[in-house]
Amino acid sequence: MESTQVKTPQRESVWRRLVSNNNFGVSIALIILLVAMAAFAPNFTTLNNIFNVLLQIAQVGTIAVGMTYVILTAGIDLSVGSIVAFDGLAMAMMMKTGVPVVLAILAGLVIGGAIGGLNGFLVAKLNLQPFVATLGTMTMFRGLAYTISGGQPVYTLPAAFDYLGGSIGVIPIPAILMVIVFIIGAYTLKYTKFGRHIYAIGGNAEASKLSGIKVKRNTAMVYIISGLCCAIAAVILTARLDSAVPTAADGIELDVIAAVAIGGTDMQGGKGAIFGTIIGALIMGVIANGLNLLDVAQGPQRFVKGVIIILAVVLQVIRNRK
């Protein structure tokens, strides 16, 4: 009898921790969504469609890892779509002039990191508001994408590059690349000193500075990470399409921010995890895929996405008040 009285509060405590854990909540939401789509959307549970969902979220999910880092510092990066477009065009044009595929991809990573570094410089060194700084670079690099391409697509790329947009058996290579980025991002954020500093800066930048954390340097680094994730997403998108266009990834920043917000990362910084971002990206992908299978038009789909973003933020506010 005594052992029962001791264990019951422990079980209650474990249950309360689970319920209050945002990752638990979004995981349950994903499971409910999967069951609903399996019941109502035709062919949703087929193996081909499951891998198709992973393929569809590969680009958003990859960028969302970098966006998680940025939002954890209470920042925002609106330039991600423009970086993908500009970087994809730069790599495609290099390959068309005879630059080897590997060198073109490495150059693309450098370009993505450099643009992220520019964002970091504007935010961390010049103290510009992240929204304003990245809104400016978003417009700049979208304009540059149109300028270097003359508004025309660059297509028929080397087969070795297009292979990265294909699959190994039934598993899409873009999904594999996304998972690798997730693993590296999650490990770095959870198990390294840099990751702990990111949480500290998002929680209280001034206190972090007083405790010896290099706030400006770490803040600049998260934008570089975001740029690198955009470069990888540019490889994924350009290889899948076998072409690069100046309109690529237009508006993708909304889907990326939605995935991060749904995954539970606090938009005010300091709270969140890559695992939640994975679930958020999957929720976005499952909703889009299921609604497409149900022949729902794009207008209602956008409305549903907007409602989900608002609900995610409202839940964050409620949780923070508690």
pLDDT in the model for residue 137 = 97
Strands 154-155 and 243-244, by their bridges, are: antiparallel
- Candidates 184, 216, 257; CA nearest to 73 is 216
Residue 266 belongs to a domain: no
143 is in which domain, residue-wise?
Answer: 49-250
pLDDT in the model for residue 257 = 92
Residue 32 belongs to a domain: no
User: What is the longest distance spanned by two Cα atoms in the chain?
Assistant: 80
∠ CA 203-58-228, rounded to 5°: 55
∠ CA 289-52-292, rounded to 5°: 20
Instruction: Give the pLDDT band of residue 314 (cuts 50, 70, 90).
Output: confident
Note the pLDDT tens digit of each residue in 221-244.
999 999 999 999 999 999 999 999
Residue 41 belongs to a domain: no
Side chain identity at residue 273, one-letter code: A
**pLDDT of 6 strictly over 60:** no
Calpha distance 256→82 (Å, rounded): 13
The share of the chain scoring above pLDDT 90, in percent, equals 74
- What's the total number of domains in the chain? 1
**Burial class for 152, CB neighbours closer than 10 Å (0-12, 13-18, 19+):** exposed
Residue 211 belongs to a domain: yes
pLDDT in the model for residue 1 = 45
Residue 59 belongs to a domain: yes
Q: Which two tokens stand for residue 158?
A: 């080397």
Note the pLDDT tens digit of each residue in 10-49.
555 554 554 455 677 788 889 998 999 999 888 898 999 9
> Is the CB of residue 203 less than 8 Å from the CB of residue 270?
yes
Note the pLDDT tens digit of each residue in 93-133.
999 999 999 999 999 999 999 999 999 999 999 999 999 99
3-state secondary structure 227-281: HHHHHHHHHHHHHHHCEECCCCCCCHHHHHHHHHHHCCCCCCCCCCCHHHHHHHH
Rounded to 5 degrees, φ, ψ at 44 are -65, -35
Note the pLDDT tens digit of each residue in 161-213.
999 999 998 899 999 999 999 999 999 999 999 999 999 999 999 999 999 99
Chain centre distance of CA 30: 17
**Burial class for 135, CB neighbours closer than 10 Å (0-12, 13-18, 19+):** middle
Q: Which two tokens stand for residue 83?
A: 């970086």
pTM: predicted TM-score of the whole model, two decimal places = 0.91
Residue 265 belongs to a domain: no
How many other CB atoms are found less than 10 A from the CB of residue 179?
16
Residue 16 belongs to a domain: no
The overall average pLDDT reported for the chain is 90
pLDDT in the model for residue 16 = 55
Residue 122 belongs to a domain: yes
Cα distance from N-terminal residue to C-terminal residue, the chain: 34
